[in-house]
Structure 1
């Protein structure tokens, strides 16, 4: 594992050389920095058990063995063109009062499976806070995010995590899987977010920092990786050693 990965995980500044390599795409015209946030839903439900999507969770549902979509966040801003009323609804977690998103029936069906938080109107929050700054239609924004999620779920990282449900995996191995999927050095664009409980660190989220062209690609390639503009704090990042992978309905 490279020193720059270690520096990133400790909340330090990336080396100048790696910043230059990852940041090269940012200078290209027509690209936008995004953060793709993917949840490990069983751990989310350990922290938010009253959420409807958690009360309905099963060991065979998609989110028990795959990453789910938290959001695709433009790093240039939030709440773009959003009324004060809708921003108030959003920031006070009254997401059910936000306007419904307009999607094709097939995209909505796909989103309900791969963003189980739709049961709590997460898609309305994500569009209001983040999607409005993408410059995309609701249909394009969510279908693009689902395509990027599908690519990650088809790779070694998802297989490694799903193969260790109920157990642990070494953080080094998570980074190795990312580099197998996206190429050498890809770990510098990825953050593993952990919760701490009962002396363990538990995988909660994977964040992938990207420079994406317009139109967006259907899969992430090495050329799309970027240094974090808004990195997670050191207290959010998984620490060295073993990382526990929660199973649906399991308490630790």
Structure 2
């Protein structure tokens, strides 16, 4: 009994002192589009689309690394925007097709930007980089977190509710590794997305739960926000 108690204390301490290796960024696309209506991916957003009720992919960011091995001229082009003019990525037809659904921002070249800025520091191919993110996104969209958001469309969620949903879906303490992004849209504070800390080998078969719980804690930032519905309000 003493050994079991000591192990629990050790695990809790490890969680408190965890170091974040990666950030998984996901968007709540209706809120994102509410604040950026001129983006290509926002012009045709509708309630029947998957991104109206599920999280969308934004990126997987290695901490404190960017543009690994990227030529200076390509890096300069990326930083100026106009991402659709950047070099196309080498991906299988299957991965590219899945990414177009999971990452609406591909219409603006977001996938090319994310690969140059962050994927080049990932240590693998573009195909594997995005396959990894698609796997994580599927886990998130199959969890209590997505259920909470889809059930609150048009209404607010609070910090406590989001953290609890993460704890239910990915283990106690997971909610302490999440930050919610919100922006003002008129008088409303709308949720535009989440950033989730990860730590460990993300390139293997590890699930989100262990990777999230191994990461360091973070401030939640946005105490409450509206889960926006598709279409400009």
TM over 0.5: yes
Count, aligned residues:
222
Aligned to 2:34: 46
Provide the rounded CA distance (Å) in 2 between the counterparts of 1:202 and 1:48: 12
User: Could you state the TM-score of these two structures normalised by the residue count of structure 1?
Assistant: 0.82
Does 1:247 find its partner at 2:229?
yes
Aligned to 2:59: 71
Does 1:34 find its partner at 2:8?
no
Unaligned runs of 5+ in 1: 1-16, 27-31
Provide the rounded CA distance (Å) in 2 between the counterparts of 1:82 and 1:45: 30
Alignment of 1:166-181 (within 5 A): 166-181=154-169
Unaligned runs of 5+ in 2: 1-10
Aligned to 1:5: none
- The residue matched to 1:148 in structure 2 has which SS? helix
- Residue 199 of structure 1 and its aligned partner are, at CA, apart by 3.7
Aligned to 1:4: none
- Residue 195 of structure 1 and its aligned partner are, at CA, apart by 1.0
Aligned to 2:80: 92
- Residue 218 of structure 1 and its aligned partner are, at CA, apart by 5.4
- The residue matched to 1:43 in structure 2 has which SS? helix
Superposed CA RMSD: 2.0
Is the Cα contact below 8 Å between 1:203 and 1:246 reproduced in 2? yes
Correspondence for 1:238 among 222, 226, 231: 222
Aligned to 1:147: 135
Does 1:21 find its partner at 2:10?
no
Alignment of 1:181-192 (within 5 A): 181-192=169-180
Aligned to 1:29: none
Is the Cα contact below 8 Å between 1:81 and 1:132 reproduced in 2? yes
Aligned to 1:210: 198
CA shift digits 1:28-52 (9 cap, x unpaired): xxxx811000000001111111111
User: Could you state the TM-score of these two structures normalised by the residue count of structure 2?
Assistant: 0.88
